[in-house]
Chains A and B, each alone.
Chain A
């Protein structure tokens, strides 16, 4: 018997059917075909599937789909509001903060969650906040710089 779930996903009211044991990540990717959220491990170790559930940063692979009932789910696909890139997305592109790009959706979601809580993080705060997101290509340097620059953008300190 499948369970019926209604949620607001990336600002859109959506409904889906899921099994009790199905993860939010599986539903996003395989049922709703929102493949922008990536799976790197399925065990909450890599952060590639980071989404915000009612504003809380979570790994979608560790959340049951049924838990999304009545909730707000924000994925990478909703970050560019009405096609306008978020400062984080713009800085990631300008700074070449992605190489293969498969971890990028998770980093963007996680970094956005950080900046919503703290719009003036130190380098160390950025590094510890993002320690749950693995990137094997960049060595993190350009990612951290992009987040610091985007924070300055959001504070209105840059042109």
Chain B
């Protein structure tokens, strides 16, 4: 694709197709559906962090007037004898089955163990109170230290550590290791070696819409499920496989999704609603309370990272070594692999190694959260890089530029980078006026660099030409942040027609081919490619129709600006899209195109942020006073929504750095399961978030697109922490930087 290509729509900022519905209250989210005869489903959850279920007596609940169904794990099919994996997903089906409904033991506070359906939510609540459960509390482990201590309690006595030969039973679910070179040699070449240890607390994705669904199961097994998720095909596959259903019998209709950030890529309520509906013979609606969202969905759990960096006096990195422990919850499955892969990814290293441990603890099963595993790893690396810059008395951006990866660099996670925009991003940051702006008293400035892979995966798309010449695009991806707009813009660009002539529909599982989740920053990149391919198929048919009308070879027909033109014949009246569409019935039938692909050539993403903070030295409160995010988007299809990703990711990262953390008591009970005590940033906590979109086109995408959704949450934590260091002189290595922790740090400054 030529850099000079002139776009009509790409790079503009039209109004999203679903916009009016979303500003008038018409858009239907997960909890907005209702059916005649609908029942309300509710879940009974464990009050213990770890306990054996001695007995569950549901008799009193079952016989309460208005209760139509009660289920426990006994109503679910037996566990699989082998570990099955849902297509396109990362969940072990055994773990998923045990997570949606506890079997034999409850493994965390909030673990589901029974569910009821009743004619009203009040009766359903009362029925939960009538279920009698006898527990035998078991010893629990709540953190990495306890979980890895010799002779401590085991969460699963039959589990050994994957990736370790001859491992005995262990709370370490998996060990991974990667790298290249010989780090000992690398550290020997270094003039400075810095080794530090970092911890982060569990945090929640914090989407505003709680999980919700509505299921209607017919007596022949055919089932319809309305739900809010990041991928209705994933919901279908997980739910149907867990219940032993044919995928074709479960139609999942996507609701609008009220935020996910990775947390809505898995199932919680869906199989329970289907089972309850099947048992009651009525539609069943289930909606989590906010407390349930915090106790039983998400989160991303705590981490401990030890990181060692070797640097020559000229600033060149000689070696990097990291040991990462990530809590994965009661079943393991943390993002430690991605942590290992991303921790050293922004820089060139002759010698590099990372070792990761996926640790089981009696906390909720962890879920993906925006660039899973990377923000904590970046916190470790980028604060050490900042320390190195200070030690060498060099500009922190110059130090990063000296070591930044570029095309051809051997990435710490294995391959050689293709064309990437790491250097361009850092240069744009350095040249931004914010970087050299003066600071006031008690203020400090921090910078940080971040990397995320972005994902390709599988996508399907359809393009239907309507008889009036308008175009309907079908996508299999829920629109979580404006992707209907970007897909419509690419279709309009391909056809050479007005954006308003394109409508985008998020089609259900019966109406479009398999499509992986809206995740991995992939929709505009991968599903966009499918839309472009489907549009090309429609234009091929249009050229054939025009060729038949003109009685020429189809190769002679060009498609330009929304019309067919005969090559080399300027006299010939072009055939417009409208005319060809109107006449389609007479020239060969309806015109439509389909495309399905596994997207290759994903464009890796880099972002760099500048953060200014002001620290109140009496209270320890940190206020972000100015913030700039720079990112290589490859090509911004709709720049407003690219900026939106950057701004939203930055503020989520600021919350992670300064405020957010799960607080468990000694019994493993979550003490702050609500937005009052788990405080996400509000409008008055943050300034405007300035953005700079760098465009180093991804050579593997027709428009140069790179994913943009996840990179923005990688740099904020270290940018904030480095800024706090600049303001206070203290290197903080444990999150969050809440006022008490900041005060304590200033009272006992670190010698580093």
Contacts and interface: CB of A to CB of B under 8 A. Distances in A.
A127 B32 contact: no
B289 interface: yes
A141 interface: yes
A2 to B, nearest CB: 12
A100 B25 contact: no
B64 interface: no
A142 B19 CA distance: 15
Q: Which 10 A-B pairs have the closest CB atoms?
A: A36-B25, A102-B258, A139-B651, A101-B22, A96-B640, A139-B647, A45-B675, A99-B481, A35-B32, A41-B290
Contacts of B647: 138-142
Contacts of B32: 29, 35
Given A98-B23, A141-B647, 9 more contacts: A29-B31, A48-B208, A102-B208, A127-B683, A128-B684, A134-B208, A139-B652, A140-B686, A142-B643
Task: Say whether chain A's binding surface is mostly helix, strand, loop, or mixed.
Answer: loop
Interface in B386-416: none
A144 B686 CA distance: 11
Interface centre among A29, A37, A94, A138 (most CB of B within 10 A): A138
Interface string A14-42: 00000100000000011001111111111
Interface in A72-113: 75-77, 79-80, 85, 89, 92-96, 98-105, 108
B648 A137 contact: yes
Contact of B208 (A34, A40, A79, A140): A40
A105 B208 CA distance: 12
Interface of B: 13, 15-16, 18-20, 22-29, 31-32, 34, 122, 205-210, 256-261, 287, 289-290, 480-482, 638, 640-641, 643-645, 647-652, 674-676, 680-686, 688-689
A155 interface: no
B640 A138 contact: no
A45 to B, nearest CB: 4
B263 to A, nearest CB: 10
B23 A131 contact: no
A98 B259 contact: no
Contacts of B686: 139-140
19 contacts: A33-B34, A35-B29, A38-B258, A42-B289, A43-B290, A46-B290, A76-B23, A76-B25, A85-B24, A96-B638, A100-B209, A102-B209, A130-B683, A131-B682, A135-B683, A137-B644, A139-B681, A140-B686, A145-B688
A152 B470 CA distance: 36
A139 B647 CA distance: 5
Contact of A103 (B208, B210, B260): B208
A145 B481 CA distance: 18
B271 to A, nearest CB: 23
A149 to B, nearest CB: 13
Given A36-B24, A79-B24, A141-B689, A101 B684 contact: no
Contact of A102 (B26, B29, B289, B640): B29
Given A33-B34, A136-B261, A139-B689, A127 B652 contact: no
B27 to A, nearest CB: 6
A96 B482 contact: yes
A116 B207 CA distance: 29
A37 B25 contact: yes
A41 B674 contact: yes
A140 B651 contact: yes
Given A101-B27, A134-B675, A139-B651, A93 B20 contact: yes
Contacts of A144: 683, 688
Nearest to A75: B25
A95 B638 CA distance: 11
A52 interface: no
Contact of A89 (B23, B207, B260): B23
Contacts of A89: 23-24
A126 B640 contact: no
A48 B31 CA distance: 13
A7 interface: no
Given A33-B34, A127-B684, A136-B208, A142 B23 contact: no
Contacts of B26: 36
B682 A134 contact: yes
Nearest to A80: B24
A100 B207 contact: yes
Contacts of A36: 24-26
A28 B638 CA distance: 35
Contact of B640 (A48, A79, A95): A95
